[in-house]
Amino acid sequence: MDKKRILVTGGTGYIGSHTTVELINAGYSVVIIDNLSNSNIEVLDGIEAITGVRPDFVEGDCRDIETLRRLFADYPDVVGIINFAASKAVGESVEKPLLYYRNNINTLVNLLDLMPENKVKGIVFSSSCTVYGEPDENPVTEQSPIKPATSPYGNTKQICEEIIRDVIAAGAPFSAIILRYFNPVGAHPSALIGELPNGVPQNLVPYLTQTAIGIRKQLSVFGDDYDTPDGSCIRDFIDVVDLARAHVQAVARMVEGRNLNPVETFNLGTGRGVSVLELINTFEQATGVKVPYVIASRRAGDIVKVWADPTYANTVLGWKATTPLADTMAAAWKWQKALAEKK
Ligand code: UD1
């Protein structure tokens, strides 16, 4: 039987590349479209080294509907889409809101527009726990209230979720699964793919590993006077390979018509809240490497504590995060060392 083909937009990016590996391992064929704005063509070598298969690759921009039309003409067998193509830096989105609205929203609209005529059965959309803002209660379920967005980036996630619900409500002949990621971290255990932050990392784990290897002098812990057990913020750090596996489950569900509703939403987290200081400690224990850090002032806009109730994904999607945080930290470190060797 021919392999089913999945279109992965943003497939050379951090989560996209790990998902492509899991799709190939699960027996799918993949075509990636990516404009390489925040990734590198060499990621394809990493995917090939892990899986033995080089995914088809189209260099192009999903904001341009004609590029997507040509892609569907060349790949008429696409049965499902996983849409990772988006800009994701919170701070940058405040400075360049139109870049975020144009990129994140037009990409989704173009894909939804072209799905019916190309008989695509389903789309998986990358959303974020940012839609819950500062939750009234933890853990958060999919029914927890959506809070007003605090950045254009967060707003694009809310708007895109609404666009999907509106289009399905209007009778679109396809399904959608919205995945709300908590804090994706780590790298493939092979250290052949991982996160490639542009410039100075804004997120905790890449900053931590760059500090551990000596690229940065010290890590700043943004606040130790929050209302949490050790005073630092609490997040739900989810291993990127675990996260990638959830996408395979999600797209398979729609392609095989096993979804219960035309739009389904799942939280993707571990269910465990871990503080910033605990994470640093876990990294040190797992790797034996000390991370120089200082306590700095709070970062504007930070959520104090958020972690997932992943029960719905566990029971309905049949997915569970299984990688211990120490293993995730070891993988992040192995990847950082592999990057250093490449230079
Ligand atoms: C943010 C976004 C989230 C997005 C994610 C990845 C919000 C509310 N959250 O998550 O939607 O998916 O980025 O782009 O918009 N920290 C330090 N020192 C550092 C860096 C971070 O102490 O050098 C702390 C932060 O204060 C925070 C925690 O580490 O408490 C996690 O920060 P980060 O990795 O940036 O992720 P979020 O802000 O949770």
Chain center to CA of 217 = 28
Residue 228 in contact with ligand 1 by CB distance below 6 A: no
Task: Report residue 100's pLDDT band, with 50, 70 and 90 as the boundaries.
Answer: very high
Residue 176 in contact with ligand 1 by CB distance below 6 A: no
Q: In this structure, are residues 213 and 267 in contact, taking their beta carbons and an 8 Å threshold?
A: no
Instruction: Report in angstroms the alpha-carbon separations of 275 from 35, 222, 227, 280, 281.
Output: 35, 11, 11, 9, 10
Average pLDDT, the chain: 97
- In tens, the pLDDT along 63-92 reads 999 999 999 999 999 999 999 999 999 999
Q: What is the DSSP string of 301-316?
A: T--SB--B--HHIIII
Mean pLDDT of the 131-145 span: 97
SS3 state at 298: coil
Residue 140 DSSP class: B
In terms of Cα–Cα distance, which of 167, 195, 37 is closest to 104?
37
Residue 93 in contact with ligand 1 by CB distance below 6 A: no
SS3 state at 97: helix
Mean pLDDT of the 226-253 span: 98
Question: Quick one: which H or E segment has residue 235?
Answer: strand 234-235
Q: Considering only CA atoms, which residue is closest to atom 18 of ligand 1?
A: 221
For residue 2, what pLDDT is reported? Answer: 81
Mean pLDDT of the 115-131 span: 98
Residue 306 in contact with ligand 1 by CB distance below 6 A: no
Burial class of 41 by CB neighbour count within 10 A (0 to 12, 13 to 18, 19+): exposed
Ligand 1 center to residue 44 CA distance, Å?
28
Say yes or no to pLDDT of 239 above 70: yes
Mean pLDDT of the 99-104 span: 98
Point out the residues that are catalytic. Answer: 153
Pocket test for ligand 1, best of 153, 276, 279, 282 (most atoms within 8 A of CB): 276
171: left (phi over 0), alpha (psi -120 to 50) or beta: left
For residue 82, what pLDDT is reported? Answer: 98
- List all residues 6 or more positions away from 118 whose beta carbon is below 8 Å from its beta carbon: 72, 76, 78
Pocket test for ligand 1, best of 134, 205, 220, 235 (most atoms within 8 A of CB): 235
Instruction: Report in angstroms the alpha-carbon separations of 227 from 276, 298, 303.
Output: 13, 12, 11
Say yes or no to pLDDT of 1 above 60: no
Q: Measured between alpha carbons, how far apart are the two ends of the chain, in Å? A: 43
- In tens, the pLDDT along 160-186 reads 999 999 999 999 999 999 999 999 999
Residue 302 in contact with ligand 1 by CB distance below 6 A: yes
Task: Return the number of other C-beta atoms located less than 10 Å from residue 200's C-beta.
Answer: 10
Residue 221 in contact with ligand 1 by CB distance below 6 A: yes
- In tens, the pLDDT along 270-312 reads 999 999 999 999 999 999 999 999 999 999 999 999 999 999 9
Chain center to CA of 4 = 23
Ligand 1 center to residue 204 CA distance, Å?
6
Mean pLDDT of the 323-333 span: 98
Pocket test for ligand 1, best of 15, 204, 276 (most atoms within 8 A of CB): 204
Distance between CA atoms of 110 and 167, rounded to whole angstroms? 12
Give the chain's length: 343
For residue 342, what pLDDT is reported? Answer: 83
- In tens, the pLDDT along 40-70 reads 999 999 999 999 999 999 999 999 999 999 9
Percent of residues, the chain, with pLDDT higher than 90: 97
Task: Return the number of other C-beta atoms located less than 10 Å from residue 202's C-beta.
Answer: 15
